[in-house]
A = this chain, B = another copy of it.
Amino acid sequence: MSNSYGTLFKISTFGESHGPAIGVIIDGCPAGLQIDESYIQSELDRRKPGQSKITTQRKEDDTFKILSGVFEGKSTGTPIAIVIENQDQRSKDYSHIAETFRPSHADYTYESKYGIRDYRGGGRSSARETAARVAAGAIAKLLLKQHGIDINAYVSEVGDIKTPHYTELDLSKTEENIVRCPDAVTAEKMIALIDQVRLDRDTIGGIVTCVIKNTPVGLGEPVFDKLHAEIGKAMLSINAVKGFEYGSGFEGTRLRGSQHNDEFYNEGGKIKTRTNFSGGIQGGISNGEDIYFNVAFKPVATIMQDQPSVDKHGNETTVSGKGRHDPCVVPRAVPIVEAMAALVLADFLLRAKTSRL
């Protein structure tokens, strides 16, 4: 198991879907940071289940409690522990999978690896775990705000419905609809599609795009902890993610160097690039331009249909979807993507302090 992330701004998470609680320890948050608890709650609310008709109907308030590391409203430099109690477990919904492996879930691999598995709600493999990431990410965001860094994720694709490029969108509108797409017209189509998929007792995938503005030059630690390599790992560690690309991404492979290179110029004393195929990162280090990247989410594996499968003894059987699940994960994934991006940037901000004498 590896349930820690980060080098200097480091989180360690714990908790199963149907255990008493989930939570996180943040070790390495600099002392003196004002910890705005209502902001943490608002971030958790963006991720919590049951928030709209296109999300799972599991009811979790996701209220949190800080157990340590904050004194008189400020971080003290000691570990910040946050606990979120689980409330609306319906573990008996899961007794049918105690011995059966759901297709494209982690049941089989966990059982094989550990020889034991808390099957209730998927146990540790449940996306419920990401609430702890969002809580920690909220604190990372508070740190980033001190440096003016701004992180905006949004839903750019659901199935084959997609938005224009981010530079043509008003990212301040993301929270104005339940699918978290800043383009109102596209949002409506996405919502209709997800709703149809839900009625079909099926699920659908999508893409979250994230844009980070005002990053200082110099974040990222080559040659292995390149900025985009860490962001990529952080995104790929989120449940259901199948792909990551930044800047020009996969499309960029079809371009020629003469088209793709980002020319430098001097804008009022500041070095800028005319295009930004680099996605704000050159040689693994931020160059001050917008960082932007796409994260691909597969369709949720739990569908309300019968599917052939096998049990732990190898017998072929049928498994049918129970429990409460999202027909499409991307609207709730938006704050998770932001949280993980914030954790990566906060870590690199601290690491960058030691680059030179």
Contact = CB atoms under 8 A, between A and B. Distances in A.
Which residue of A252, A254, A314 has the most chain B CB atoms within 10 A of its CB atom?
A254
A252 B205 contact: yes
A314 B266 CA distance: 6
Contact of A299 (B218, B244, B255): B255
Contacts of A52: none
Given A110-B283, A266-B316, A116 B261 contact: no
A69 B130 CA distance: 16
Interface stretch (A43-51, A53-61, A171-179, A220-228): A220-228
In the complex, the count of this chain's copies comes to: 4
Interface in A311-343: 314-316
A106 B284 contact: yes
Contact of A31 (B114, B197, B294): B114
Interface in A85-135: 101, 103-106, 108-110, 112-118, 123-125, 129
Contacts of A245: 242-245, 250, 296
A122 to B, nearest CB: 8
Contacts of A15: 67-68, 79, 81
Nearest to A125: B283
Contacts of A110: 283, 285
A310 B270 CA distance: 11
Interface string A238-257: 00001111111110111111
Contact of A253 (B226, B250, B298): B298
Given A197-B256, A264-B309, A356 B112 contact: no
A189 interface: no
A110 B356 CA distance: 11
A205 B254 contact: yes
Contacts of A265: 308, 310, 316
A14 B256 contact: no
Contact of A12 (B74, B79, B258): B79
A278 B109 CA distance: 12
B124 A262 contact: no
A65 B309 CA distance: 37
A149 interface: no
Contacts of A105: 282-283
B242 A236 contact: no
Contact of A254 (B160, B221, B236, B286): B160
A258 B202 contact: yes
A95 B339 CA distance: 37
B76 A118 contact: yes
Contact of A271 (B203, B249, B310): B310
B12 A4 contact: yes
A220 B277 CA distance: 32
A266 B310 contact: yes
